[in-house]
Structure 1
């Protein structure tokens, strides 16, 4: 199980996002754009379950679960 989320990350005059990808044993932080390319690159070779919100960048991953907290909002 891999949990993923992103939040805005102002960097000078550029719009960037701080992504976090979290498993039971590992945490990966990535500062990048908010597009699907970041998710595709990080998940390359990953075949487990992804837990995420409804952001479109995650929607192409075939084994995705929606975060209950985000669904309740």
Structure 2
């Protein structure tokens, strides 16, 4: 699993959101969230920005540009 996939899943679960709930909050498709979390799809900055906003994190937190502690 890639770093983006791992971080997205971490933040989603930390906020106690299902994939469906996150997709709805971020206004992206459920299949897009599943694809990112499984590492099957490359990232789209606009959609990832929407997801980051829905999670209450910075885009750089998802991309791994900052130090991350679990």
Which of the pair is proportionally richer in strand? 1
TM-score calculated relative to the size of structure 1: 0.32
Ranked by relative contact order (alpha carbons within 8 Å, sequence separation 6 or more), the top structure is: 2
Bigger-Rg structure (1/2): 1
